[in-house]
């Protein structure tokens, strides 16, 4: 393979981007037999039905299994690791053409790894670990040894990882096969996925919408089932936004439970708000398996910033025996009212929960979510965004619109001194203490809420982070799940799933709650339900800090009670 | 009581200090019958035998019990809470005269509380909680509602706490009686206890030596058994130095296990190195009871920065069944060689451990402890010491020698910018990861090491923090225990306990390991064994992060194997 072209060695940013795309295309083409190339211009706005219509039956069968189905088939040798990863590579190559979500395919190393696993099984009769042969897709900035790690910055192209990220080492030991790397936005700080290396990753259900971000490559890829299990990262919604936008499960654990060592990113050493890592997955069971596998490896022994709380299998979702699961509902956060499709889906789900003997529903009283955003936004870029800007400027590449928005149009960004930083820490800690008191008072087990102020937004319009960043500030675990509903489907007209949106439409004389709400309201007025046609509608369940196991089990109970699927 | 005199209302710092001393003396005198006043000039250098010789037999009997003895006697009503706290108040008043360790006695509130507890027991037949009637002494900057909280700064006198510190609320609910508050140094950042309000707290075993610090008031008070259980705080050795210097148990837990809300201190919001809170105690069992009681109250529900790891009763000190406890020994840290009494005591203990079937002893290979000090010292005062200096300068009080030393003569103090701060965080995290790898490699259960570069130092000479601050940087729990040996005792001459120091003396041609070692060597040369006569010799046992329970149980095994007492 030719040497990587970089701005450091004199190339323009456009030349670097063209070379990265070439590299990606070569990686896709190197997989034999070469993946099907869809004729240009043949792709509809809703691409979601395409893979099933063009892939071979066995490939469809394999890629539409979930992790928990694949594991026993791989462990027993019913399907070889090679067969499985080949199917996923074909579907991932297709997904790239539909949603622009892949930075490179890894056929050589994936097939070598699969052969190793198949040989091991043949020789010993035993799987190598709990994820024997499971293909896992990985967001690009989670470093892989020997591969470029540019984190979405043109100027960082050419930085080659010296070793695998810690989490990949653990998953490798458990039997995983890494076969594809996925896109992320410039700065990693968008709730979309748009950079100057690859352009924008789009939503497979409606390509005029964003796949979300920053783990948008994972979102689109898992949404198209070019992956059943992918790894994303989240400091403000970056796992949950793409999971929601693509109708898959996405879990942001409590920070410092899963290993975060080995990422390419700016602002190393900034621990004011902690980033998290977690799965995007086609099933709740797959999420559980992922987390359990990693915690069973005691990652805190190698990475001492982690909290040594082992996976707890025995945790019950409810406080007492026979007690109901007490769910607090956030209809809106007092800052931005969610678009009608989200309100309708939330209403449908809550109605079903109210009919369940297992669940008690109460309204959650939000506490100053606008202040929460101010506090977290003040702590994201404590150097005033200097490192982010330097990383962009290193190559001369332009700022993408949402980079400009979060760094320059965001009034809360400031260059801190030590005294202002300490003050901001105190505000953060005081807010957390207030919210803890609120939780003690309201006594819920979990909170059910929107994932964002609407379904997948139009490109470059994802500006309101409040519904996800709130839980990063508080460091509460949160999981996104699909409701199964899609905007405008099932019956024609302004509907979500089977429900007419009429009762959830904004009143004619609607007065926005805030400037952010006015913007969000404008998006709905401008685009209407037709503008979001086909977008999956997802919701978010939030637990208390470190109650990750309880949260995941509570979701299981909730999905049963609401009659929703645990797979997508 | 007259209004507090403060510099804010125009008084000089000397007037404020005089008023604080007057306030203290009034508080002591208000306890009836007034405590014995020792005639001036009658106090020998070693004061430790005085309380027993001047107190009434019952007071001696009560105050020489340990927490675990007091608890059942109080719970059964054999001794009333009133009788017990009166005995401790008398002994604390005496301790003040011997070691200058008290900021105020609280007879009124303590007797009211004791009466309440006695009434409760009489009415219900049941103790109010696991610490029913146990008197607990408290370092001054741990805030008590309605009382002055000056943290050792003259300029802060007059700041009155609005509520009790979180830990006090929990102990109160468990039945504790707060009866005395104790001294701390100016800035709280000395390993001694010297400020301009009260002067220096001295060592009861040799009043030419320091009681240690910053929880030196607690150290001296517990050393004299004016308290059986006191609360100190530690960010570089501040529980362990006074525990060691006064021959008592002192436990610094892993940070974020015990509640730290409600302290008077500078640099609020600075979380680069986390402070800890913990007990100084006359028994290991008392330490266990303290920690267990607090964790049973689930303090993380109120204080969300805490890690919700409940107290684990079932933890075994050793990895496997029947496996030996593997103890790594640090003879010296490669930076400063401990004085002969410490080397001798460590050697005696290790020799006994080597003879035990329960223990395997190995030499611990230290990793750059000089770098560790540089890293932590760089993170203590990220504003270059501005807040500390402002708090001193607010009153015009002079800097105490060790304030000057840590803030101005310490070459690692710097005013950080955000980029230099992030770099310092990265250095900290990299060091922690290296040490975790070292622990994985060497595979010990605990580390046995000195607590400092000698026994209790001469006043104003405690400059080397390495033996304690090392474990704050790493956030490893550490407990100090008395070896029972005292410098120069048992037989005349240059001895520690029964061992001749000869073999541990510095060689005639000793070459110091570092500048700090040269200073420490000079202290020994200048003062000799006679200069430290009577000082208790203590050691430190260190566990891995969050393995607090394992550490405490390991100490139990180790004390048995070494034939050492679990009380002092």
Question: Is A298 in CB contact (< 8 Å) with chain B?
Answer: no
Q: Distance from B434 to chain A by nearest Cα, in Å? A: 9
Q: Kindly list the residues from chain A whose CB atom is less than 8 angstroms away from the CB atom of residue B415.
A: 418
A390 token code pair: 């330097």
CB A215 within 8 A of CB A263: no
Question: Is B440 in CB contact (< 8 Å) with chain A?
Answer: yes
Torsion of CA A551, A554, A560, A561, to 10 degrees: -120
pLDDT in tens, chain A (568 residues): 568 999 999 999 999 999 999 999 999 998 887 777 787 778 899 999 999 999 999 999 999 999 999 999 999 999 999 999 999 999 999 999 999 999 999 999 999 999 999 999 999 999 999 999 999 999 999 999 999 999 999 999 999 999 999 999 999 999 999 999 999 999 999 999 999 999 999 999 999 999 999 999 999 999 999 999 999 999 999 999 999 999 999 999 999 999 999 999 999 999 999 999 999 999 999 999 999 999 999 999 999 999 999 998 877 777 556 689 999 999 999 999 999 999 999 999 999 999 999 999 999 999 999 999 999 999 999 999 999 999 999 999 999 999 999 999 999 999 999 999 999 999 999 999 999 999 999 999 999 999 999 999 999 999 999 999 999 999 999 999 999 999 997 666 667 877 888 889 999 999 999 999 999 999 999 999 999 999 999 999 999 999 999 999 999 999 999 999 999 9
- What is the per-residue pLDDT for B492? 59
Q: Check residue A567 and report its DSSP letter.
A: B
- What is the per-residue pLDDT for A498? 79
Residue A163 parent element (H or E): none
Q: Rounded to whole angstroms, how far apart are CA atoms A415 and B417? A: 10
Choose, out of B307, B418, B473, the residue to mutate when testing the contact with A (most A CBs < 10 Å). B418
B41 confidence band (pLDDT: 50, 70, 90): confident
- What is the per-residue pLDDT for A490? 65
Question: Is B433 in CB contact (< 8 Å) with chain A?
Answer: yes
- What is the per-residue pLDDT for B501? 82
Any idea which architecture B13-301 has in CATH? Alpha-Beta Complex (3.90)
Q: Distance from B439 to chain A by nearest Cα, in Å? A: 9
DSSP B432-488: HHHHHHHHHHH--SEEEE-SSSSSSPBTT-----HHHHHHHHHT--EEEEEEEEEBT
Q: Kindly list the residues from chain B whose CB atom is less than 8 angstroms away from the CB atom of residue A443.
A: none
Closest CA to B311 of B288, B335, B333: B288
Torsion of CA B105, B108, B111, B115, to 10 degrees: -160
Does A422 sit within 8 Å of B270, measured CB to CB?
yes
Which of A10-19, A128-137, B314-323, B506-515 is least confident? Answer: B314-323
Strand, helix or coil at A186? helix
Does A304 sit within 8 Å of B433, measured CB to CB?
yes
Q: Rounded to whole angstroms, how far apart are CA atoms B241 and A255? A: 34
B426 token code pair: 């990265």
Going across the sheet that includes B478-486, the strands are B102-105, B177-182, B135-139, B229-234, B276-281, B249-252, B478-486, B536-542, B446-449, B325-329, B359-363
Q: Kindly list the residues from chain B whose CB atom is less than 8 angstroms away from the CB atom of residue A426.
A: 268-269
Q: Distance from A192 to chain B by nearest Cα, in Å? A: 27
DSSP A405-459: HHHTS-TT--B--HHHHHHHHHHHHHHHHHHHHHHHHH--SEEEE-SSSSSSPBT
Counting beta carbons within 10 angstroms of the beta carbon of residue B30, is it exposed (0 to 12), middle (13 to 18) or buried (19 or more)?
Answer: middle
Residue-wise pLDDT for B326-346, tens only, equals 999 999 999 999 999 999 999
C-alpha distance from residue B256 to each of A423, B252, B276 (Å)? 20, 11, 7
* Catalytic member of A48, A137, A149, A214: A214
Q: Kindly list the residues from chain B whose CB atom is less than 8 angstroms away from the CB atom of residue A432.
A: 304-305
Name the residue facing A269 among B303, B309, B422 (closest C-beta). Answer: B422
Number of Cβ atoms within 10 Å of the Cβ of A142: 28
Backbone angles phi, psi at B104, to 5 degrees: -165, 150
Strands (E), A462-535: 478-486, 495-496, 499-500
Does A307 sit within 8 Å of B419, measured CB to CB?
no
pLDDT of B1 strictly over 60: no
Nearest Cα residue in chain A from B545: A304
Residue boundaries of the structural domains of chain A: 13-301, 325-562
ipTM over 0.85: yes
Q: Kindly list the residues from chain B whose CB atom is less than 8 angstroms away from the CB atom of residue A267.
A: 422
Pick the CATH number of B325-562 from 1.10.3720.10, 3.40.50.720, 3.90.1300.10, 3.40.190.10: 3.90.1300.10
C-alpha distance from residue B459 to each of A223, A302, B404 (Å)? 69, 41, 14
B490 confidence band (pLDDT: 50, 70, 90): low
Backbone angles phi, psi at A419, to 5 degrees: -60, -40
| Domain A13-301 and domain A325-562 have a common topology | yes
Question: Up-side HSE of residue A378: CA atoms within 13 Å toward CB?
Answer: 17
């Amino acid at each position: 393979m030719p040497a990587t072209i970089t701005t450091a060695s004199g190339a323009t940013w456009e030349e670097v981007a063209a070379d990265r795309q070439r590299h990606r295309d070569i990686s896709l083409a190197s997989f034999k037999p070469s993946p099907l190339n869809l004729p240009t211009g043949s792709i509809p706005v809703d691409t979601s039905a395409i893979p099933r219509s063009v892939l071979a039956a066995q490939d469809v069968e394999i890629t539409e299994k979930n992790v928990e189905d694949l594991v026993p088939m791989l462990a027993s040798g019913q399907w070889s690791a090679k067969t499985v990863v080949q199917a996923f590579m074909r579907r991932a190559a297709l997904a790239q053409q539909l949603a622009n979500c892949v930075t490179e395919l890894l056929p050589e190393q994936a097939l070598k790894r699969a052969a190793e696993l198949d040989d091991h099984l043949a020789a010993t009769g035993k799987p190598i670990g709990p994820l024997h042969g499971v293909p896992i897709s990985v967001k690009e900035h989670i470093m892989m040894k020997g591969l470029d790690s540019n984190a979405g910055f043109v100027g960082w192209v050419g930085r080659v990882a010296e070793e695998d990220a810690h989490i990949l080492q653990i998953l490798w030991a458990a039997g995983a096969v890494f076969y594809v790397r996925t896109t992320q936005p410039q700065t990693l700080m968008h709730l979309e996925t748009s950079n100057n290396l690859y352009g924008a990753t789009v939503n497979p259900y409606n390509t005029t919408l964003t796949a979300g971000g920053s783990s948008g490559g994972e979102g689109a890829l898992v949404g198209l089932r070019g992956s059943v299990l992918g790894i994303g990262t989240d400091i403000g919604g970056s796992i949950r936004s793409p999971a929601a936008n693509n109708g898959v499960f996405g879990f942001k654990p409590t920070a410092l439970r899963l290993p975060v060592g080995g990422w390419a990113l700016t602002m190393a050493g900034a621990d004011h708000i902690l980033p998290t890592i977690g799965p995007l997955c086609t099933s709740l069971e797959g999420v559980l398996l992922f987390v359990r596998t990693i915690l069973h490896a005691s990652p805190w022994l190698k990475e001492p910033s982690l909290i040594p709380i082992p996976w707890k299998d025995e945790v019950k979702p409810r406080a007492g025996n026979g007690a109901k699961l007490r769910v607090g509902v956030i209809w809106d956060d007092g800052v931005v009212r969610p678009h009608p499709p989200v309100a309708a889906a939330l209403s449908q789900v809550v109605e079903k929960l109210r009919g369940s003997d297992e669940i008690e529903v109460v309204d959650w009283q939000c506490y100053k979510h606008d202040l929460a955003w101010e506090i977290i936004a003040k702590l994201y870029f404590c150097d005033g965004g200097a490192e982010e800007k330097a990383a962009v400027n290193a190559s001369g590449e332009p700022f993408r619109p949402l980079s400009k928005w979060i760094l320059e149009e965001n009034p809360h960004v400031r260059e801190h001194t030590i005294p202002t930083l300490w003050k901001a820490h105190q505000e953060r800690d005081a807010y957390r203490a207030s919210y803890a008191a609120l939780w003690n008072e309201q006594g819920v087990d979990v909170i059910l809420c929107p994932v964002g102020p609407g379904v997948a937004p139009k490109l470059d319009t994802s500006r309101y982070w409040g519904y996800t960043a709130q839980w990063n500030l508080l460091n509460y675990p949160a999981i996104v799940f699909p409701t199964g509903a899609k905007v405008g489907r099932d019956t024609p007209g302004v509907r979500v799933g089977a429900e007419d949106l009429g009762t959830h439409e904004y009143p004619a004389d609607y007065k926005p709650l805030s400037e952010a709400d006015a913007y969000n309201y404008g998006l709905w007025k401008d685009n209407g339900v037709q503008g979001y046609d086909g977008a999956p509608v997802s919701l978010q369940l939030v637990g208390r800090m470190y109650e990750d196991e309880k949260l995941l089990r509570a979701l299981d109970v909730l999905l049963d009670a609401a009659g929703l699927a645990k797979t997508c």
